[in-house]
Structure 1
Amino acid sequence: MTATAADATREESDGPRVRIDAGELRGLDQGSVHAYRGIPYAAPPVGPLRYRAPQTVRPWEGVRAATEFSDAAPQNKKYTLIGFREYQPTSEDCLTLNVVTPARPATTPRPVMVFIHGGAYLMGSSATPLYYGNSLVERGDVVFVSINYRLGALGYLDLTDFSTAERPIDGNLGLRDQVAALEWVHRNIAAFGGDPERVTIFGESAGGNAVTTLLATPAARGLFHRAIAQSSAPELTVDATTARGWGKRFVEMLGGPEAIDTSTSEELGRTGNHLMGEVNREQLGVVPYGPTVDGDFLPEDPEVAIAAGRGAQVPLIIGTNRTEATLFTKMPGMGKPSADRAAHTLGAPQDRVDALTAAYPSYPSVPAINRLIGDFMFWAPSVRIAQAHAKHQPTYFYRYDFSPKTLDLLGYGPTHASELMAVFGVYHGVTGWVMGALGDRRIAMRVSDGMQRDWITFSRTGRPAGEWPTYNGTSRATLVIDDESRVEYDPSAEIRRAWESFEAARR
């Protein structure tokens, strides 16, 4: 055998192995952890399965290499950046997940943390380096899982009005994908040393919305046992009438029902962007993609179900960041935040807008407008979810206030998604050294250590590690995560009451 052939044989035989229900996998030995990437949890949703609920994986013969991330769901290429001039490929064959485990064998089954990425249900991938999960695994002795799911028109438009006997179309495809991934975890995670009875789902932004939606999804019941919703946008989940209206507009833009099957994923994406533009012109900030309250797979609005005790009876951590909206209002082409844009975002009569904005002392300054928009999208609805869930299960609320000097200098502050750097431990790596140049490194690492400790302990026991009281409708205990974290009771009470009045008038 030549040296080259011997090297190739060794490369194919090296690496940890595990057998799951569909066959044997060979992963990556990364020293302290083992990683298994690109594992299919459902059959490729292509051809006749394009608009169908996820189907069972076909078993394979031999050993399947699980050493590379698989394709991301179809989306704009610019959203798939994973390195310097390196982009993750995309395709409709995207229903895969990744598992990271400690390299040392488990003496007892380990807690499992399943991460659902965000991206407005339009973008994102489990291959994003931020989401690797190695730090959580090394620090917490947990098993980490990250998933892909269908996005945009292929995952989150309700096209069921165009279903026929010859071409059936299922609804809530992205949500169904997430449930299918959790079913895979339930069946297979013990093979990786994980405990199928201690599964925590956690996600950020659209991933946070997925968490609060899964709380009310009957098919997900029993598949997870704790939940963490970071910057959830609960109102991404919409009623059936609205969702079907968007679906009809999309099909009209596409060229009619016959184009549903014949269009490429690129054509679907372009049409989806066109729909997004039209909807945003009608009400700024509205995303026409999200789970649908269809009376079937998702029987009722999650907030209603949770408040009535019909949601999953599991402990919950939920919270938001102090300046969520600066990430969006500072995007190129957005222009300076204005009172008119804020009113457009709220989509309410002027008298109700005036009553609400009176609770923001410096309104209409730019910081106050940013705070208002962030509260509208994330904080106010998350408070409602927390209050509803706290009636039935232990609930812990947080506000992320920490901002490294780099984000402060750029005018972002503790903006949307910035807490992910703490949760995934990136401040301990190269990013931490960059922070060190401005004197932030030790503080950032301390913040990260605290969040990881709470998230990991919660996944293990159902309660955070530190002194963090449960949330209720009276004390409203909130952990403020900052240079020095602290508990505050009913912070921003006047603003909260203003939002309650605003929502009461709307409903």
Structure 2
Amino acid sequence: MGVMQALVKWAIAAAAAALALPATAQQPVEIDAPAGAARGTQADGLKLFKGLPYAQPPVGERRWQAPADLPRWSGVRDATQFGASCIQPARRGESIYADDVGTTSEDCLTLNVWAPENARNAPVFVWIYGGALTTGGTRFPMYDGAALAKQGLVVVSINYRVGALGYLAHPELSAESADGVSGNYGLLDQVAALRWINRNIAAFGGDPKQVTIAGESAGALSVMYLMASPSARGLFHRAIAQSAYMLSTPELRAERFGAPPAEAVGAWLQGQLKAGSLADLRAMDAQALTEAAVTAGYIPWGTIDGKILPAQLVDIFDRGEQAPVPVLAGFNEGEIRSLRILLPPKPADAAAYEAAIRKGYGDLADAALRLYPSANIEESMLATTRDAMYGWTSERLAAKQSAMGQPSFLYYFDHGTPATEAANLHAFHAMELPYMFGTIRQTAPDWPAIPDTAAETALSQAMVEYWASFAKSGRPQAKGQPAWKPYGEDQAYMHFAGAPRTAADPLPGHFELHEEVVCRRRAAGIGWTWNVGVIAPDMPPQAPGCR
């Protein structure tokens, strides 16, 4: 037999063997946790348990109540399928973010666990999805926890209530609460999931004393809420906030910073839905209620209630009352390129643009125009909203945790691919997700394609290792990559653009400008959201404590 024939015969035999016993063949695996016994799957050195309930379903009279503990379930629970996603609006139109949420239900308070098969006291990484507190789920392939788990972590992803079902405040709901408050139910779900993890994760090989909470966009907002909430204190030990936004937040009964009281919004929505009482609202079909709330213009937020969220996030972080934990935070260059709905109308020309900036920024207008010049109005408008929401928040998180003596690490994701450049979506909002999850081949159906190249794989591997090592030790490291310096060292940050590289003081002057703007607005009682740039309200005068 010739050498070529022998090689062909060997290759056919090897392929047949591989088909008979594939490396990824799943085998059943069981655990017995305090919550109950469960049967999941095992493959490639990992155990996976899906759809584990962590609280009683919030249906019927439980709708708009804090999640209640589940008694231990009997028998061995099947944990091979994701649980239902929480009720959310049906997909409307095309979106690069759209993915299959599968079945939706009010019975949705479940979580999923990826664990190394021999894990013992492994650090735990808890993922909180984004989606504007309106949409999201844990079943998306992009959120697959396998790559992070292969770094030695136990990875958990959690479902939580969104939309009106998750965040509605209402006078009747406050009246029936022992604390006299309402709203924040989705946040309370997250706290309940962390408590479940604290009680049960050791059965999966995780260490309840090494828990990192992580999220992107509304998930990162949730991370900040958890850092600020006394109810979550001690349930996590590190925090990752990707594209977080520390905006002014409605208060339960007071009209502040231009926002109506959250209870008043709930009463308004009741009227919009033509419901005569809280009982009528609870009797409504969950999907119909959710769709009608969106149509009416309801926007879910956390509620400053003095209990779950004691005060505005800026105040809590200024006073050093947040969780004293290491933080990894950052934002993307093109945050608003995929969120243009946040942009105001574009002025007709440079003169109109400059006039609007001078009117809104007053004595700060020269600084604003230096940073956001009229030479390219579109790019300046994209950058203004990006920096006011995401850049300012990310750097503020790093600065405030550093002031507490906690290691804090800042990043700036500035990477593009041929598909994103062609679509003018360079480093768009959430683009870093498949890189840090190691799922660049598992993105959403309409996600701009990521080339199958060594460079893209290397960038993803570096980010997976940085994120995993932060969850392990509180310090991000990656083999063969630059050392990530803490922010406290000369405003240091990691610049992800093709490959990681270290730098200092991202976007000089931008953070300082927006910190001054927010400081003055707080003193004058004006909200700080995406009302910036050409639609900024007249700038209040310099206030004590600003600058």
TM-score w.r.t. length of structure 1 = 0.85
Q: Distance in 2 between matches of 1:26 and 1:388?
A: 43
Give the aligned partner of residue 224 of structure 2. Answer: 212
Change (3 A) 1:363 1:501: farther
> For 1:234, what is the secondary structure of its paired residue?
coil
Q: Is the 8 A contact 1:189 1:196 kept in 2?
A: yes
**Whole-Å Cα distance in 1 between the matches of residues 77 and 67 of structure 2?**
21
Pairing partner for 1:99 from 113, 118, 139: 113
Say if 2:381 is the partner of 1:369: yes
Deviation at 1:394, TM superposition (A): 1.4
Stretch deviating more after TM superposition (158-167 or 84-93) = 158-167
1:338 aligned to which of 305, 325, 346: 346
Give yes or no for the alignment of 1:127 onto 2:139: yes
Query: Which residue is equivalent to 2:484?
Result: 468
Q: 1:335–1:218: structure 2 CA closer, same or farther, 3 Å change rule?
A: closer
Q: Which moved more, 1:92-101 or 1:288-297?
A: 288-297
Match of 1:3 in 2: none
Distance 1:463-1:269 versus aligned 2 partners, 3 A rule: same
| Contact persistence 2:326–2:474 (CA under 8 A) | yes
Question: How does 1:400-411 map onto structure 2 within 5 Å?
Answer: 400-411=413-424
Q: What is the one-letter code of the residue matched to 1:22?
A: A
**Distance in structure 2 (CA, Å) of the matches to 1:501 and 1:180:** 37
1:45 aligns with 2:66: no
**Structure 1 residue runs without a partner (length 5+):** 1-12, 278-287
Q: Secondary structure at the match of 2:511?
A: helix
Q: CA, structure 1 residues 86+389, in 2 after alignment: closer, same or farther (shift >3 Å)?
A: closer
Matched, 1:360 2:372: yes
Structure 2 unmatched ranges of 5 or more: 1-25, 523-547
Structure 1 residues 463 and 328: CA distance shift in structure 2, 3 A: same
TM-superposition CA deviations, 1:103-162 (whole Å, max 9, x none) = 3x23x4111100000000000001111112111112x11110000000001111222455
Determine which of 253, 265, 281 is the counterpart of 2:286.
265
Cα gap change, 1:361 to 1:169, in 2 (>3 Å): closer
1:251 equivalent in structure 2:
270
- The residue that corresponds to 1:323 in the other structure is 334
Give per-residue Cα distances to partners, 1:53-100, cap 9 Å, x unaligned.
Answer: 000113222111011111111112328999999551111111110001
For residues 91-490 of structure 1, what are the structure 2 equivalents within 5 Å? 91-103=105-117, 105-106=118-119, 108-138=120-150, 140-165=151-176, 170-235=182-247, 237-240=249-252, 241=254, 242=259, 243-258=262-277, 259-276=280-297, 288-329=299-340, 338-339=346-347, 350-352=360-362, 354=365, 357-358=368-369, 359-362=371-374, 365-392=377-404, 393-427=406-440, 435-436=450-451, 441-465=453-477, 466-472=482-488, 475-490=490-505
Deviation string 1:191-213 (CA, Å, 9 cap, x unpaired) is 00001111111000000011111
Describe the shift of the 1:429–1:252 C-alpha distance in structure 2 as closer, same or farther (beyond 3 A): closer
Q: Against the structure 1 CA distance between its residues 304 and 336, is the aligned structure 2 distance closer, same or farther, given a 3 Å change threshold? A: closer
CA distance in 2, matches of 1:433, 1:85: 13
Partner Cα separation in structure 1 for residue 521 and residue 215 of structure 2:
28
- Determine helix, strand or coil for the equivalent of 1:76: coil
Q: Are 2:44 and 1:31 aligned?
A: yes
Taking structure 2 as the reference length, the TM-score comes to 0.79
Change (3 A) 1:129 1:120: same
Q: CA RMSD in A?
A: 3.2
Matching residue of 1:496:
511
Distance change >3 Å, CA 222–CA 35, structure 1 → 2: same
Pair 245,339 (structure 1): closer, same or farther in 2 beyond 3 Å: farther
Percent identity reads: 34
8 A contact 1:215–1:306 mirrored in 2: no
Q: Which moved more, 1:151-160 or 1:123-132?
A: 151-160
Secondary structure in 1 matching 2:339 = helix
Deviation at 1:347, TM superposition (A): 12
